[in-house]
A = this chain, B = another copy of it.
Amino acid sequence: MRLLYHYPLSPFSRKVRLALAEKRLPFELRTEKPWERRAEYLDLNPSGEVPTLIEDNGFAVPEAAVICEYLEEAYPDTGLLGETLAERVEVRRLVTWFDSKFALEVTDNLLGEKVLKRLAGRGGADAGALRIGYTALGHHLEYLGWLAENRKWLAGANLSLADLSAAAHLSCLDYVGDVEWKKVPAVREWYARVKSRPSFRPLLAERVPGFAPPAYYPDLDF
């Protein structure tokens, strides 16, 4: 069986889980705590980052961005990058937006400080980082709102990797109660649609010991 080394509150792991499920590719999960830097895992992915996908034949595909491009090439049915060159540019632009800019400005400063830092035993959250993270989250939610108001899905007419990237980050922030959905109705309406997909269910059922999500976290009506 196909195997994915992942961490439950890693948005990059979540994105790949969503992509695999949307493509109806069965897989098993194995939890990897990247901060432990296990030698056996570093052999699979020298960067130490999660996730890494291991195909049935043992072929290892490391890094979320690499896995997603690989899945499109190896399993082109249910494409998640769009059809035309212009669609594919817009999907990849937004994936880069969420996995680079949003990750650095928001996810690292909020989820990173509140959860991953504590799990890795590197102390408590830094107030300055949280402040920067919340300010950036406000700007990003505005941009997301604009996209959600003007398009059916974030990159255009079809669900794409852009939606999965964005929803993966937001779902992790939602786990720590950081998204004020009432303030951003268009984003909430879009997120409700992603959240209600069968691919999303396993993510919503998962819990990280020591960190309880808000009561509304798994609800489709939130």
- Interface of A toward B, CB cutoff 8 Å: 45-47, 59, 61-63, 65-66, 69-70, 73-74, 85-86, 88-89, 92-93, 96-97, 100-101, 143
A85 touches which of B73, B89, B96 (Cβ 8 Å)? B73
B86 and A59 within 8 A (CB) = yes
Instruction: Say which residue of B69, B92, B100 sits within 8 Å of A92 (CB atoms).
Output: B69
Q: Are B101 and A89 in contact (CB under 8 A)?
A: no
Number of copies of this protein chain within its complex: 2
Q: Are A69 and B69 in contact (CB under 8 A)?
A: yes
A contacts with B: majority SS = helix
In the complex, are the beta carbons of B65 and A88 less than 8 A apart? no
Cβ-neighbour of A101 out of B47, B59, B65, B92 (below 8 A): B47
Contact between chains at B65 and A97 (CB < 8 Å): no
Residues in B with CB closer than 8 Å to A62 are 89, 93
A189–B70 alpha-carbon span in the complex (Å): 31
Partner of A69, one of B74, B88, B97: B88
Query: In the complex, which residue of chain B has the Cβ closest to the Cβ of A60?
Result: B89
Given contacts A47-B101, A88-B73, A89-B61, contact A66 B96 (CB under 8 A): yes
Known: A46-B143, A47-B97. A92 touches B66 (CB 8 A): yes
> Are B93 and A85 in contact, with the CB atoms below 8 A?
no
